[in-house]
A and B are shown apart, each in its own frame.
Chain A
């Protein structure tokens, strides 16, 4: 009965979503405030029902109810309980249920916090969110039912969770990422509502900013967690692969980053109005494109779920309706938007325009590269190609360097026009940055690597100009400002991590028997023991390495019982300035194994920087001025 009740709850949630959409849009159109007020109830009921469905599906997993097809396919009695829990979203159906749960959560959050919004505007926002909920729930119920039963033959044992997913990363990465992905629907709904009401003033941007910041912060954390997880779990020390599914999450993140900045200009200066609306629509559209890439199986990826053409088609239709509808509305309303504003050279407006331009071009580059193999296959009638990471790097990396250079100018820039006298000071700070870049590069490897040197120089410059500005602003440092500084410093930290790891990593693949030693980066590694051990649901070959630094590293190679999957468990000794990383390859003779030993300098800075960026976004969100001004806007709004 349990899965049937869950299924029924989700069906009831669909009815709530339809009511929400109807009440919100019709209430706003006809000016019936009782209908608009009812939205809160519908949003709460919808969220409660989906949560119930989600909890009941989780119960089926925890109780090893293999009559539930999803549990039979992705769980196992031997699976540790925390992975039974995360196995719920370790597959297409369950993860989409999580997606709808997150969507309902955001909808409820807006419903509860939207009291300050003008009534009709609030109704439209609720209506648009309701429509999105309807689309997602329809997809869940019609094309990916997670509650399906296996009848009449119920398996005694489940097929187990893919061992890659039997990990802490699987517990935290998808929820964080989804909160970010789906959160951009709020900015989307605000933009559509603003277009519908024709009220594209600074107020809608002010309402959107905190929501967009939170979504962006969660997505930042989600992507960073994914990168960290891939680093330690895939076993080969890579932290970003330009895999189509990584790109699927990176495109909305880049667009969202542009949106966060563009919203600032629209809110503070009333400029870039139509551009910001377009960006809000585009950001969520990229989230939907991402969902399509991941879930349709059109592209080769380690993340790809089982391929089902029907699902791909359904998502494509959902995509077309949402994006097409929003863009049509935009085309109809945008010409009426007027920004009357002038700004001079090097003004903050201009810098933010450059920021947006660079980020959008970066999105376009990734978009073309990601979908090119698909287009090529269609155009040539089936020839398969792949595009390697060097080509992403060749285009993406220079773009980010240019972005970093402009970022260093950010704190000193003023609205309208920046006095040229500040440039001299910025120039001096650049000198300091460049000197430090050369110094750090020399300390790291004794040789100058161009990208790492440039990255350290630019990062130092960014930090220096921000610290300089911070000191000058004694007493005038609202949370929004502190958030910006934190996020920008985070970007600098992340950039240093990326560049230094990429250029100064060392490593070898070696054939080793017990008692043998190899040297990597001045550290000697000795293989001291090899044995076989049993885990809860796997057998493992385990090696013990000891270094002359006194570290002990124990990598494993596991074979899981249920599916015969083989997993490498890397042994990592993390450090603020670098990791030691040992992976077991395979036995190449009776007594010898192939092993990989790597040094990854400053790799932690990548994720540390990303966390700082996310933290900055949250700090800026907490700035009280949004709430103060939002109340004022609502009071001033025409009734």
Chain B
């Protein structure tokens, strides 16, 4: 090989190795956390894993939102209006458009007793928008959100 060729080959090898290692690390990091979405039906049926970070969602059942007397604790019931519902416990501030009868997306862990411990609560952010997961689910069950 001429010096020029050798340099070019070394450059290409260097680039490929660097890019390959980084992308492999990236994919491994990715595999570690993929947050799957579960509708109420699957949460109630026990198809959602316990103690693992997941996302779930549905509609906030009317009259179910209860604030603590002292702190920022709040609990509410998420329903699909098809008979499946579960309770969510959350400690913190709720988003602006959170409300009873509205769509909601929660991220956190499901406890063994069937209560969902939310670390994050997302609601729609304008009056037309709804998390796509929830919108699709409601469309599939024939319920108008």
Contacts and interface: CB of A to CB of B under 8 A. Distances in A.
A399 B96 contact: no
B128 to A, nearest CB: 8
Interface residues of B, number: 42
Interface in B1-46: 3-4, 7, 11, 15, 18-19, 22-23, 25-27, 29-30, 32-37
B126 interface: yes
B26 A365 contact: yes
Contacts of B7: 342-343
Nearest to A275: B15
A588 B93 CA distance: 9
Contacts of A566: 96-97
Given A342-B3, A385-B35, A394-B29, A300 B127 contact: no
Given A385-B36, A565-B97, A565-B126, A399 B72 contact: no
B4 to A, nearest CB: 6
User: How many A residues are at the interface, by size bracket?
Assistant: 35 or more
A385 B37 contact: yes
B62 interface: no
A368 B67 contact: no
Nearest to A364: B23
Contact of B93 (A361, A385, A586): A586
A511 B72 CA distance: 6
B94 A586 contact: yes
A340 interface: yes
Contacts of B67: 588-589
B86 interface: no
A339 to B, nearest CB: 9
A575 interface: no
A585 B127 contact: no
A582 B38 CA distance: 34
A368 B30 contact: yes
Contacts of B32: 391
Contacts of A390: 33
Interface in A151-181: 162-164
A308 interface: no
A561 interface: no
Contacts, number: 110
Given A164-B126, A509-B72, A566-B97, A384 B36 contact: yes
Interface string B96-138: 1110000000000000000000000000011110011100000
A471 B71 CA distance: 58
B37 A383 contact: yes
Interface string A370-397: 0010001000000111111011001100
Nearest to B93: A585
A357 B92 CA distance: 42
B74 interface: yes
Contacts of A300: 131-133
Give the interface centre of B7, B29, B131 by most chain A CB atoms within 10 Å. B29
Nearest to A589: B67
Interface string B40-76: 0000000000000001000000000001111110100
A596 interface: yes
A563 interface: yes
Contacts of B23: 361, 364-365, 368
A361 B20 CA distance: 9
A372 B23 CA distance: 14
B16 to A, nearest CB: 10
Given A384-B37, A387-B35, A588-B67, A360 B19 contact: yes
A361 B93 CA distance: 37
Contact of A585 (B30, B69, B70, B94): B94
Contacts of B69: 589
Contacts of B35: 385-388
Nearest to B127: A563
Interface string A578-589: 000001011011
A335 to B, nearest CB: 14
A384 B25 contact: no
A41 interface: no
B126 to A, nearest CB: 5
A162 B15 CA distance: 46
A453 to B, nearest CB: 23
A387 B27 CA distance: 12
Nearest to B7: A342
Interface string A424-440: 00000000000000000
Interface of B: 3-4, 7, 11, 15, 18-19, 22-23, 25-27, 29-30, 32-37, 55, 67-72, 74, 91-94, 96-98, 125-128, 131-133
Given A384-B37, A511-B70, 6 more contacts: A342-B4, A342-B7, A357-B18, A509-B72, A509-B93, A563-B126
30 contacts: A164-B125, A300-B131, A302-B125, A342-B3, A353-B15, A361-B19, A365-B26, A368-B26, A368-B27, A372-B30, A385-B37, A386-B34, A387-B30, A387-B34, A387-B35, A388-B35, A390-B33, A391-B32, A395-B25, A511-B72, A557-B96, A563-B127, A565-B97, A565-B126, A565-B127, A585-B72, A586-B94, A589-B67, A589-B69, A594-B94
